């Protein structure tokens, strides 16, 4: 299979995340990185040492797409320039909701005029997060959604979990559900040879956790989780097919820039299947992203 040649424009946090996602993929190739003249020669992480770095995408030859990872205010101009040169683009700029639509329309008009494809808002937020929320609303059309960013960490419960035999380290995040009850997510790093189930049972039967919904999740390293983790809980409740009290939860703790990079790389796969114009993720078949 011929790898699709992608350029990254802007090599900050998101640009580097896109680069890592491309290098780890089996079907994409990093054609080069487009940087400002004054950072062109700046040191790069070792994995990108052999990648061409240029000051304009046109220096990279034939490209299948460019992933725009510039500060928000510069994205529209860069997108216009690339589309004028018939290069398909992916962008994920985090505009406020009001400005987002206008930005997407501007890119759409240019993409249609030039006969080129674009995927817009292809990150975590804007991006896949909205898809999860839409999917939940399909399941429970009559109801409500609550999204909790960074659920609070409970020191008390964290210390209790750390004292359980078999656990090397733990972190307990908690949030109040729509019914006012506390829900807890306990991330545990086990000692070598320890089993999750007895440790999880011991946590749930600890008086501090009794009578509250507690989910125990194993992780490789609690320290890494604390350093990189962006916590999120999306909760949807409501009525489906005449039945009340349906409830769905999405719980995640992750590096949202890494996820945005992964989504931009996925969006680049979908480009050849699209007609000219700009598409947010909810207008792209899921299968085209894989």
Ligand X SMILES: NC(=O)c1ccc[n+]([C@@H]2O[C@H](COP(=O)([O-])OP(=O)(O)OC[C@H]3O[C@@H](n4cnc5c(N)ncnc54)[C@H](OP(=O)(O)O)[C@@H]3O)[C@@H](O)[C@H]2O)c1
Residues that bind ligand X (CB under 6 A): 10-15, 35-36, 39, 69-72, 74-75, 92-94, 123-127, 256-257, 260
Q: Tokens 């999120």 identify what position?
A: 232
Smallest distance, ligand X to C-beta of residue 126, A: 5
Length of the chain: 290
Smallest distance, ligand X to C-beta of residue 153, A: 23
* β-strand partners of 126: none
Nearer to ligand X, 65 or 75 (CB): 75
211 φ, ψ (degrees, to nearest 5): 70, 10
Helices (H), the chain: 13-24, 72-84, 97-114, 128-139, 155-162, 196-204, 222-228, 256-270
Smallest distance, ligand X to C-beta of residue 246, A: 29
Report CA Rg, the chain. 22
Smallest distance, ligand X to C-beta of residue 241, A: 34
User: CB nearest ligand X: which residue?
Assistant: 12
Smallest distance, ligand X to C-beta of residue 74, A: 6
- DSSP assignment letter at 191: P
Torsion over CA of 95, 98, 100 and 103, rounded to 10 degrees? -110
Smallest distance, ligand X to C-beta of residue 235, A: 20
CA-to-CA dists, residue 246 to 53, 148, 232, 243, 249, angstroms: 52, 19, 20, 7, 11
Q: Tokens 């589309």 identify what position?
A: 83
Residues 6 or more apart whose Cβ sits within 8 Å of residue 16: 45, 48, 261
Nearer to ligand X, 199 or 284 (CB): 284
Nearer to ligand X, 122 or 186 (CB): 122
Nearer to ligand X, 179 or 227 (CB): 227
* β-strand partners of 260: none
Nearer to ligand X, 95 or 209 (CB): 95
Nearer to ligand X, 125 or 206 (CB): 125
């Amino acid at each position: 299979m011929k790898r699709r040649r992608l350029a990254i424009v802007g090599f900050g946090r998101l640009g580097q995340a896109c680069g890592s996602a491309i290098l780890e993929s089996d079907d994409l190739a990093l054609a080069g990185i487009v940087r400002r003249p004054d950072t062109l020669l700046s040191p790069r992480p070792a994995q990108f040492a052999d990648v061409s770095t240029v000051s304009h995408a046109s220096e990279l030859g034939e490209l299948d797409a460019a992933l725009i990872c510039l500060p928000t205010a510069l994205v529209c101009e860069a997108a216009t320039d690339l589309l004028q040169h018939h290069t398909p683009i992916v962008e994920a700029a985090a505009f406020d909701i009001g400005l987002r639509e206008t930005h997407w329309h501007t890119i759409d008009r240019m993409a249609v005029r030039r006969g080129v494809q674009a995927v817009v808002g292809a990150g975590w937020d804007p991006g896949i997060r909205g898809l999860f929320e839409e999917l939940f609303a399909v399941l429970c059309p009559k109801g409500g959604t609550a999204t909790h960013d960074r659920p609070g960490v409970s020191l008390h419960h964290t210390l209790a979990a750390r004292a359980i035999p078999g656990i090397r380290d733990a972190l307990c995040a908690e949030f109040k559900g729509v019914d006012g009850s506390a829900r807890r997510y306990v991330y545990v790093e086990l000692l070598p040879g320890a089993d999750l189930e007895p440790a999880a049972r011991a946590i749930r039967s600890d008086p501090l956790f009794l009578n509250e919904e507690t989910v125990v999740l194993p992780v490789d390293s609690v320290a890494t989780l604390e350093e990189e983790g962006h916590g999120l809980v999306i909760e949807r409740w409501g009525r489906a097919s005449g039945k009340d009290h349906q409830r769905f939860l999405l719980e995640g703790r992750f590096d949202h820039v890494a996820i945005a990079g992964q989504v931009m790389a996925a969006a680049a796969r979908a480009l050849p299947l699209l007609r000219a114009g700009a598409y947010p993720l909810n207008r792209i078949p899921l299968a085209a992203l894989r």
